[in-house]
Amino acid sequence: MNLMSRTTAIALLALGTTTAQAHQVWLEHSDGQTRLHFGEFHENLRETSPGSLDKFVDVPTLELRSGNTVQHVKGQRAKDAFAYQTAGQPTTLAAQAPYPLIDRSKRNLPAMLWVPAARWVADAGQAVEPRANALDLVPTGKPGEFKAVFNGAPLAKVAVEMFAPSGWSRIQHSRDDGTVTFTLPWKGQYVAEVKHSDKTAGEAQGKPYGEASYVSTLSFVHGGGMASPTLPEPSKGH
């Protein structure tokens, strides 16, 4: 992790935010193999097992959609990802990773529910229906356009950040209908991220929480554009 990342992590911890919340989960798919990574895509940081990958309550179930067919695929915890065997030609994959409630009692605050989720699409130019009861980011079918949705309703004026593997990134704020548009200059994989906080209290894992913090990613491979600059060296988490 570089100096700026360390400084950011320290600042987050000083605010009582866990390192996990600074992370994201994202999906990568190729040749019948799907991997759900935990870390920071733009820094090529992937948390490992043994280590932070073991903090999740369970191995997430992968939702595989191919046309009108929906399958739920069980996976296993591998060294640097949750791994799945995915036969056929999925049009989209999605997963929500169960994380323990975050204890904030030292600050006299109720526990926080952190909900990291990820989606992968085979074609970012094809519209995808968002998941119900979740934070989601989906392509609309228009070139470079995506839509942020929470519990079925569009999220207006929310920040959506698009990352390329080289570390390139851009931020756009969603319009009133939840849509954002990006120009994608590089060939290769992209990961877009959106976050949302919900102050509604609830219960999860048999325990109460005071608010929920959501982060969701959308990953896809872009076939056009320029060749991507050299990727940063992979870094291992803890």
Dist CA 150 CA 168 (whole Å): 27
Place of tokens 């989601």: 136
Dist CA 37 CA 219 (whole Å): 11
State if pTM tops 0.85.
Answer: yes
Mean pLDDT estimate for the chain: 89
Closest among 237, 219, 179 to 35, alpha carbons compared = 219
Predicted confidence (pLDDT) per residue in 170-215, tens digit: 999 999 999 999 999 989 999 999 999 999 999 999 999 999 999 9
Predicted confidence (pLDDT) per residue in 126-152, tens digit: 999 999 889 999 999 999 999 999 999
Predicted confidence (pLDDT) per residue in 33-78, tens digit: 999 999 999 888 999 999 999 999 999 999 999 988 999 999 999 9
Contact, 96 vs 86, CB < 8 A? no
Predicted confidence (pLDDT) per residue in 19-34, tens digit: 566 899 999 999 999 9
